[in-house]
Structure 1
Amino acid sequence: MPTLSQFLFGAVLFGALVAVLGIALAPAWQAWRRRTLARQPFPAAWRRVLARHVPQVRRLPVDLQLQLKQHMQVFIAEKPFIGCNGLVVTEAMRVVVAAQACLLLLGRPGGHFGNLRQVLLYPGAFLVDRVRTEAGGVLRDERQVLSGESWSQGQVVLSWDDVLAGAADPADGRNVVVHEFAHQLDQADGQSNGAPPLPRGMSAARWTRVLQAEFSALQRQLAAGEPNLLGDYAATNPAEFFAVASEVFFEQGPQLAAERPALYAELQAFYGVDPTAW
């Protein structure tokens, strides 16, 4: 008969083996669950929400529409939504956010915003208090009014008013959901620097060279007062350049390809889709 110490040792060993087995099987179980979710019939109520609020979906080729809906089903099942400032999050709100966020996943096999833990929705623009370091190391409190924000800890914060406005016009190059979820992709390695982890086969050296050159070219254009497609905010830093360029890529693909072909080519390789064909 085993002693108490032997029994406890055996119990601990068994628990450790179960834990290790669970960790080993978790990816396979998650992949199975996602395939099951993607195969479910797309709810008719969600179709009506898309038809009313997200006209971008109608622009997509039929095969990409199907992929988008499959990604949405997984996204809505996996990502919690939290209402802020009294906002009650509805199913329609989840659908509108998910449809725009999942555009970024269409050409990225296996991508599901793995670091994203929560989506926080405010009724409208929200206030954020920040401390800014000025010249000489002087710290100054600053209050900002924002329509969206992405945190490397796994949260995306959005203004519902701006989510709706961004979805309403799929060709104006401005979409807060695409912008903030581009930041999530950028932050997948813990940094927000305009250099997201690249798909296999892409050259990191070429990505860095092209985006740095395009960022510098934009700054020169703005300094000279020349018109451009990306706008002032894209020149803030490389992270914002990537996020703004992603908005324009998905909403004004043909114009971006004509004005900045090298940048368009890198974004096309990164996202795995070609909006010039939509």
Structure 2
Amino acid sequence: MGRRSRHRRTRCRRRPAGRARTAHHRLRRFAKLTWTRRVAGLLGRFNAWRRQRVLGRNAIDDALWSELTASLDLLAGMSAAELAELRELTALLDGAKRFSGAHDFVVDARVRVTILAQAAVLILGRPKVGLDPFPGWLSVIVYPGAFLAHRVWVDDAGVEHHTAYPADGETSDFGPVLISWDDARPGARDTGTGRNVVVHEFAHQLDFANTWGDGYPILPRGMSPARWSEVWINAFDRFRASLGQPGRAAFDPYAASAPAEFFAVLSEAFFLRPDTLHAAFPDVFEQLLVYYNQDPRPRRGLATAQRSQPRPHGPLRWAR
């Protein structure tokens, strides 16, 4: 007689069929979504707590902030909402960046806030993530005045050259940002020149965020890289061809030395002389309008009106 075969009884998880299966999957997706939302909510509250903690530790003195908003030409004409956001950005940067003084220069709160507030103008309209709203650089070295910058370059023959030249600012993609206090403090530049060393150097930092400085920063979503390149290359070529001709004196000729310098100089003009930039290079102005996500023209118009308005002496009287 043959052996009786033994059948191993196994238990399997039967999949629900039809509507039951659909309801089962929906329930699982809902559970995952609920858990994800809970984690995201916890992280959001934790980040908000950290943000408020940093803002509390680096709160800017009211008197100091009032002094800077009244004396820095770059901040003139800003609305109350813009100044409030700028103050918060400045405090966050003060908690994320390191400062040191060169040649025994003492860096105090006034020096730090003055430089950081001007740097924060560049990111005022851009999305911010985390506790460092301006990533890519970590430290600033402040000189009491102009300093000697050193540069090493290799010519076409392979010969290495070392040069030194006076500068009011210097930056690189890996090193710290060097700033001359005499050129960054309130009143350092005559109003209307369109020059600002802080805007110039930190525009370079935005440029360096895209691998290297070539006048091609990381563009926000929706901007066309091809259009950006076309506009800036054409404007750069036109500017270099127009050197020495009337109508370009408003822009520093140094802008013709490289596309990176052209981007930095025209960023200065965008924030300080937007109407002049719009008249000379309307396509560039439109690109910067989208890139920085802010329009400085109303501010500059208001600032000009405030400067031109004489201060009254004695009680005001209505003209009859």
TM-score in same-fold range (> 0.5): yes
Partner residue in 1 for 2:307: none
Mapping for residues 95-114 of structure 1, pairs under 5 Å? 95-110=113-128, 112-114=133-135
Residue number in structure 1 paired with 2:296: 275
Q: Which moved more, 1:241-250 or 1:136-145?
A: 136-145
**1:32 to partner: Cα distance:** 4.7
The answer to which of 124-133 and 164-173 deviates more is 164-173
Separation of aligned partners in 2, 1:86 and 1:277? 41
Q: 1:190 aligns with which of 188, 203, 211?
A: 211
Instruction: Show CA shifts across 1:102-150 (max 9, x none).
Output: 1101110116221111011111111123333345333332111111111
| Match in the other structure for 2:272 | 251
Which residue does 2:247 correspond to in 1? 227
How far the C-alpha of 1:73 sits from its partner, in A, is 1.1
- Residue 167 of structure 1: CA displacement? 5.5
Q: CA deviation at 1:36?
A: 5.1
RMSD after superposition: 2.4
Matches within 5 A, 1:1-278: 32-34=49-51, 37=54, 42-51=60-69, 53-110=71-128, 112-134=133-155, 136-153=157-174, 155-164=176-185, 168-222=189-243, 225-228=245-248, 229-278=250-299
Matched residue type, 2:218: P
Structure 1: give runs of 5+ residues left out of the alignment: 1-24
- 1:190–1:50 CA distance, 2 compared to 1 (3 A): same
Deviation string for 1:199-255 (max 9, x for gaps)?
111111111110111000101101x53331323111111000000000010000111
Contact 1:113 1:184 (C-alpha < 8 Å) held by counterparts:
no
Distance change in 2, residues 1:120/1:29 (3 Å): farther
Offset at 1:53? 3.7
Letter in 2 for 1:226: P
Structure 1 residues 13-33: Cα deviation after superposition (integer angstroms, max 9, x where no partner): xxxxxxxxxxxx999855653
SS in 2 for 1:157: strand
- TM-score of the superposition, structure 2-length normalised? 0.72
> Does the CA-based 8 Å contact 1:186-1:192 persist in structure 2?
yes
What's the CA shift for 1:257? 1.2
Change (3 A) 1:28 1:151: farther
Q: Given the superposition, is the C-alpha separation of residues 177 and 29 from structure 1 closer, same or farther in structure 2, using an over 3 Å criterion? A: farther
Task: Select between 92-101 and 56-65 the one with higher mean Cα deviation.
Answer: 56-65
Deviations 1:136-182 (A, max 9, x none): 33333211111111121152111111112675545321000000000
Q: Residue 271 of structure 2: SS of its match in structure 1?
A: helix
Change in CA separation of 1:205 and 1:211 when aligned onto 2, cut-off 3 Å: same
Contact 2:189 2:196 in 1 (8 A): no
Q: Distance in 2 between the 1:76 and 1:206 partners?
A: 36
8 Å contact 1:126–1:159 — kept in the other structure?
yes
Query: AA paired with 1:64?
Result: E
Which amino acid counterpart does residue 208 of structure 2 have in structure 1?
Q
Aligned residue for 1:18? Answer: none
**TM-score normalized with structure 1 length:** 0.83
**Which shifted more, 255-264 or 131-140?**
131-140
The higher radius of gyration belongs to 2
Change (3 A) 1:27 1:175: farther
| Cα shift at 1:42 | 4.8
Per-residue CA deviation, residues 177-198 of structure 1 (Å, 9 max, x unaligned), is 0000000000012311100001
**DSSP 3-state at the match of 1:219:** helix
2:120 partner amino acid: C
Whole-Å Cα distance in 2 between the matches of residues 98 and 209 of structure 1? 32
Cα distance between partner residues in 2 of 1:107 and 1:58: 16
Distance verdict in 2 for CA 1:201–1:36, change over 3 Å: farther
